[in-house]
Structure 1
Amino acid sequence: MAHDHLIEMLDLDAEVLHEYHRDLIGWVGREAVDRPRVLDLGAGSGTGSLALARELPGSEITAVDLSPEMLAHLRSRADAAGLGERIRTIEADLDRPWPDFGPTDVIWAASSMHHMGDPGRALASAFGALRPGGLLVIAELDSFPHFLAGTPDEGVEERGHAEMAKRRAEAGLHMHENWGDRITQAGFKAVTERHIDIDLRPPLPAATARYAEVCLLRMRHGLDERLSSSDLAALNKVVAGLGDRDDLSVRTERTIWLARR
């Protein structure tokens, strides 16, 4: 899937699931020190960096990602929001030895830890980068968004998700890890875990149909050899007709861990 579609999907996730993001950022804001130096791992389109900069007055954010396209989009958003002076970007591969990011009070990793080739090494690097008493925040997806629950198209969406889960497993992504145990093994203390069930029903935010379209297009990408021709045709029909539907919902699960060095 093209980077521009992935960027759009991440931006739409923040817009449609704004209550979840607001509550998460507020929780971090209550736990962080004043004027913190924040490291955003796998910053993506910049949702976390911008929200943290707004929530934490005087904070300085270092946004790290492997994709120059993502970082260019993030810088553009930060400048447009008047936050460019407080958010710097660094292109880096976090599966390699980390550069010296400087003193760090908060490490934020939202939907990025499952991409690490060696999560244990990444958490050890995070432990070493934080000041004593510093805060680690990991937010991960337990399930990707479902939009067609309770509709005649629920079955094809479920089969698509099942095949995508197989693809992620084959690619070695670390989905459904016990991050609480891994965090403890890396030396962190005071680990707090929260599981969030998101179930949005009509009326939904105006951007929901486009969010569903981009997510289902991402699902559709690469499934030619994995779904039957009838399922592929049904999925194509669903995507083409999303703008005319009034039966969409948004169901997904997220888990958040907060821990201290």
Structure 2
Amino acid sequence: MTHAFHHECHDDAGQAQILDLDAEVLAAHLTEITAWLPLHTPPRQIVDLGSGTGAGTFALLDRFPEAHVTAVDSSTGHLQRLREKAYARGETERIRTVQANLDEADWPDLGTPDLVWASASMHHLAQPEQVLRAVHELLPEGGMFAVVELAGFPRFLPENAPDDRPGLEERCHAAGDRVHAEHLPHRGADWGPMLTAAGFTVEGERQVDINIDGAGDQAVGAYAHASLQRIRHKVADALAAEDLAALDRLIDTGSPHSILHRSDLTVRTRRTVWAARRSTRRVDAPRPHPPTR
């Protein structure tokens, strides 16, 4: 195993842990979003683009008991985890997994879905306009594309925490935003105009503000710990030495200052969802080859 491959696998596993915790902690809000979608009829075939470990996939299966989902992700590790969950839930027959890089022009066969769902995945794409047009080609007339995006990593600590470095979390997020501005320029984008440019009619947009009391909730503590670990990996070089030391104390599970020992955690974040329907008007911009059917 090369070092690069080992690092990729380790990063994949760390991200999978956060995705699983995100699904557990924010389950009620995800259910709220799926219930809000302005669908004319319950979808029977759904494609989950950038499915990760399956938060959206299983929320959609719960919401639409007659549906089947094709879960698409570039990570074989995430898809393996999703299949394990499907097996544990007894739902392997309702799920198909497809490993694919969505930035490539030629997609594998994804069938003919009534609904395409993309949650916290569009901002990772290098060519989102191309993907939006490909989804437009994939959907039948009247089909719906639901795009859910997050404002960034959730906040967990009070503003005056920790005692030795008040405001530490906000400074970490500010450093992370500077890093992401270069590598993920579409994070926090307004997807409405881009959906319209790709030929969709945006039928609804909604912001979901999340504020969850994490007192005594082990899942929230684990979510906060995993999130701060990942942030540290991204911003270590951009933090002052005192901030980095304080952050290390928070994520050190053996430290009395560990975030796992705090009783004042909350989960504060925002999700925005756009519901767009495939329209029949032509789009002047060139389109990629549609997926092979």
TM-score tier by shorter-chain length is over 0.9
- Between the aligned partners of 2:135 and 2:158, the Cα distance in structure 1 is 38
Report Cα offsets for 1:187-215 as digits up to 9, x if no partner: 11143100111112354643110000000
Does residue 42 (structure 1) correspond to residue 87 (structure 2)? The answer is no
If you compute each CA radius of gyration, which structure gives the higher value, 1 or 2?
Answer: 2
Alignment-derived partner of residue 131 in structure 1: 140
Aligned to 2:286: none
Match of 2:97 among 89, 93, 97: 89
- Aligned residue for 2:269? 252
Structure 1 residues 69, 242: closer, same or farther in 2, change over 3 A? same
CA contact (8 A) 1:33 1:105 kept: no
The question of whether the paired residues in 2 share the 8 Å contact of 1:50 and 1:83 is answered with no
Gaps of 5+ in 2: 1-9, 253-257, 279-293
Q: Take 2:216 and 2:203, find their aligned partners in 1: how far apart are those partners?
A: 34
Q: Which amino acid aligns with 1:95?
A: D
CA distance in 2, matches of 1:162, 1:80: 39
The answer for the alignment partner of 1:101 in structure 2 is: 110
Instruction: Give, in whole Å, the separation in 1 of the partners of 2:234 and 2:46.
Output: 36
Aligned partner of 1:57 in structure 2 is 65
Whichever residue aligns with residue 244 of structure 2, its letter is L
Decide which moves more: 148-157 or 192-201: 148-157
Q: Which residue of 2 aligns with 1:116?
A: 125
Q: Name the TM-score, length of structure 2 as normaliser.
A: 0.85
Deviation of 1:239 (Å): 1.9
Q: 2:227 aligns with which of 215, 231, 236?
A: 215
Q: Deviations over 1:84-125 (max 9, x none)?
A: 111000000100122231111000000000011111111000
In 2, the alpha carbon distance for the partners of 1:182 and 1:21 equals: 23
Paired positions, count: 260
Equivalent in the alignment of 2:7: none
In the other structure, the counterpart of 1:235 is 247
Q: How far apart are residue 144 of structure 1 and its match?
A: 1.8
Note the C-alpha offset of 1:32: 5.8
Pair 1:163 & 2:175 matched: yes
Specify every segment of 5 or more residues in structure 1 that has no aligned partner in the other structure, as ranges.
none
Partner AA of 1:55 in structure 2 = R
Q: What TM-score results when the alignment is normalised by the length of structure 1?
A: 0.94
1:5 aligns with 2:14: yes
Mapped contact 2:202–2:274 kept (Cα < 8 A): no
Distance 1:169 1:204 in 2: 35
Higher share in strand: 1
Query: Would the aligned equivalents of 2:43 and 2:64 in 1 still touch at CA under 8 Å?
Result: yes
Identity among equivalent pairs (%):
40
Indicate if the aligned counterparts of 1:151 and 1:247 stay in contact, CA closer than 8 A.
no
**Would the aligned equivalents of 1:32 and 1:105 in 2 still touch at CA under 8 Å?**
no
- State the partner residue of 1:199: 211
Structure 2 contact 53–78 (Cα < 8 Å) conserved? yes
CA 1:204–1:142: 2 relative to 1, 3 Å: farther
